[in-house]
Amino acid sequence: MTIEEKGRAMHVYWASTCGDCPLKSDGTTGKQRRVRRWEHEEALERAKARLDSFPGAMQQRRETAGHPFGTIKAWMGATHFKMKTLAHVATEMALHVLAHNSSA
């Protein structure tokens, strides 16, 4: 079945084969197990697999994509973003650009 939890669609599955599982001792003590999966969980797993196959990816990103944005911020007099998450940082950057353009 599919439910909504904290604004996210979650798929819920029940497994009744736990009794036959060789990993039973590592899992549930009940007769059934309920598994919850976010509808986009597979995308997270693919991203993790890509990062695992290229451990230097985040370092490379910081060295290439992060630098231009840091330079633009510094030109505008800001040394760091006060917000976190891409949506909040994008809004903060837009406000910086707007303020800079209106003062020029």
Residues 6+ apart with CB under 8 A from 76: 96, 97, 100
Half-sphere exposure of 77 (CA within 13 A, CB side): 4
Cα 39 to Cα 33: distance, rounded to the nearest angstrom: 19
* Domain-wise residue ranges, the chain: 1-53, 61-104
pLDDT digits (tens, 9 = 90+) for 90-101: 888 888 788 877
Q: Share the mean pLDDT of the chain.
A: 81
Q: Which two tokens stand for residue 88?
A: 């909040």
pLDDT digits (tens, 9 = 90+) for 36-68: 899 999 999 999 998 899 888 878 877 777 667
Helix or strand run (H / E) with residue 9? strand 8-15
- Percentage of the chain beyond pLDDT 70 is 90
- For residue 9, list its beta bridge partners: 4
Tell me, yes or no, if the pTM score tops 0.85.
no
